[in-house]
Amino acid sequence: MKIYNTLTKKKEEFVPIEDGKVRMYVCGPTVYNYIHIGNARPMIVFDTVRRYFEHKGYEVNYVSNFTDVDDKIIKKAIEEGTDTDTISKRYIAECKKDMAGMNIKPATKHPLATEEIQGMIDMISTLIEKGYAYNSNGTVYFRTRKFEGYGKLSKKNIDELEAGKRIAVEEQKEDPMDFVLWKPKKDGEPFWESPWSEGRPGWHIECSVMSKKYLGDSIDIHAGGEDLIFPHHENEIAQSEAANGVQFAKYWMHNAFLNIDNKKMSKSAGNFFTVRDISEKVDLMVLRFFMLSAHYRNPVNFSEELVDAAKNGLDRITTAVDTLTHMLKKDGRDEKLTDDEAKLLEEYKAITTRFDEAMDDDFNTADAITAIFDMVKFANSNADENSSVAFLDALKNQIIEYMDILGIKVEKEEEILDADIEKLIEERQNARKEKNFARADEIRDLLAEKGIVLLDTREGVRWKRN
């Protein structure tokens, strides 16, 4: 399996630090608003990377943070006349809803910056002890020039970076390239006690600390959008490697931007759509499919036409699966494969292998999707009245399995009919009368799974579809 590593600028064979395990960290969003579909790109891309590793049999420990203390959150809290906690909690909850809609698996751990302050103080103290950081009137800076490898990820030269950089009057740095690890509070800002000042951490330190705490000093993959390469990831490397004395991440993966009119979609530029906006227009599975239709290292230009094209493409796949499901319901089919079918399945297998080959080549989801379309074409032209159950099952399951690796659900949920609901409710009432509460609960849960909510009213049980 090959991964393009930003650190070496090459595709490299993936060799995990520990056999059979992948430890990966993905920088998450700052939570002061609904996430936009640009933020959704790394979420979808790296969730797909995780799913592919799992498909290959790896156990994946996947950590992704929420930055819940930051200038933008503070500004939003002031605008709304509330506190930062209320803002960040609200948008973490909203972000998790969007993630569920896009079928993004919850991380093994979603650490919050505000819950990891002690760890950050500890790492900053270590950096000071080792001479990599210094306290200047309550602000702690990282001594960038002391870290020899600075610039190795972004391929920037520290002297070139420094040219034209000035130290602002209020900053008391030794060198313009030094960056903040801890800063004193300003009036009305949230703060924590520390050996240097009542204040809060700089942004970069949280990822170094969370990654170490939940994954260890050295991890396999560190990922995020390409705007994070510099300075965020460069600074993370400096902090972690200076503090821990070992290589931080073996492979650095970065997704390209989602653009509008060839400009990066961003909140500050105001040219963005939230995931929530899009969910009102199309199913979020379409958004996910759209995102994966391009290779993650290529920029994607967002437009309604391209989303429509993605919708049509995905419809072709879901319709094929639906047709196979209907065929399988027809009675009287032979169970077993015929010899001809066995031969056809060999051909089918050759197409399916292309999915794995594409994914093995730096997660080329664009080519993987082409392989799925070819599988669909094959199924459409080879499944018929006389096909056996085994043949239809094989065609259908392979499409579902691969779409599941891409995180896209293609099976239509079976609708539950009103009459069936009424029957189940009656059965639940009887179970309750007989004090069989276990069965009553079971029926309630079963209905809940189908999106049916029960309301116990004086007039009896009423129900609605959620």
Does residue 76 belong to the site contacting ligand AMP (CB under 6 A)? Answer: no
Residue with tokens 């970065």: 254
Contacts of 17 (CB under 8 A, 6+ apart): 23, 218, 219, 220, 250
Closest contact distance (angstroms) between CB of 136 and ligand AMP is 27
Q: Which own/partner contact pairs does 364-369 have at CB distance under 8 Å and 24+ positions apart?
A: 364/295, 365/48, 365/292, 365/293, 365/294, 365/295, 365/296, 365/406, 366/292, 366/293, 366/294, 366/295, 368/292, 368/402, 368/406, 369/289, 369/292, 369/293, 369/313, 369/406
Please identify, using beta-carbon distances, which residue of 27 and 99 lies nearer to Zn ion: 27
Does residue 41 belong to the site contacting ligand AMP (CB under 6 A)? Answer: yes
Neighbours of 112 (CB within 10 A): 18
The token pair at 367 is 């080519």
Please identify, using beta-carbon distances, which residue of 38 and 119 lies nearer to ligand AMP: 38
Please identify, using beta-carbon distances, which residue of 273 and 378 lies nearer to ligand AMP: 273
Please identify, using beta-carbon distances, which residue of 7 and 258 lies nearer to ligand AMP: 258
Spatial CA neighbour of 29 closest among 40, 19, 20: 40
Cα(first)–Cα(last) distance of the chain, in Å? Answer: 43
Closest contact distance (angstroms) between CB of 99 and ligand AMP is 13
Please identify, using beta-carbon distances, which residue of 64 and 240 lies nearer to ligand AMP: 64
Residue with tokens 């609960």: 441
Closest contact distance (angstroms) between CB of 39 and ligand AMP is 4
CA–CA dist 367, 147 (Å, integer): 41
266 binds, among ligand AMP, Zn ion, none (CB under 5 to 8 A by kind): ligand AMP
Please identify, using beta-carbon distances, which residue of 120 and 345 lies nearer to ligand AMP: 120
Residues that bind Zn ion (CB under 5 A): 27, 207
3-class secondary structure, 432: helix
- Ramachandran angles phi, psi of 182, nearest 5°: -145, 140
Does residue 38 belong to the site contacting ligand AMP (CB under 6 A)? Answer: yes
Site mask for ligand AMP (CB under 6 A), range 245-274, x = bound: ----------x-xx-----xxx--------
Cβ contact 139:184 at 8 Å: yes
CA–CA dist 59, 335 (Å, integer): 35
Closest contact distance (angstroms) between CB of 42 and Zn ion is 11
Alpha helices in 81-132 (DSSP H): 84-101, 117-129
Closest contact distance (angstroms) between CB of 268 and ligand AMP is 9
Site mask for ligand AMP (CB under 6 A), range 189-228, x = bound: -----------------------------------xx-xx
Q: Total residues at the site for ligand AMP (CB under 6 A)? A: 17
Q: Quick one: which of 5, 30, 194, 352 contacts ligand AMP (CB under 6 A)?
A: 30
Spatial CA neighbour of 267 closest among 15, 466, 430, 30: 30
Does residue 6 belong to the site contacting ligand AMP (CB under 6 A)? Answer: no
Interface positions, 422-461, toward ligand AMP (CB under 6 A) = none
207 binds, among ligand AMP, Zn ion, none (CB under 5 to 8 A by kind): Zn ion
Q: Where does this chain bind ligand AMP (CB under 6 A)?
A: 27, 29-30, 38-39, 41-42, 224-225, 227-228, 255, 257-258, 264-266
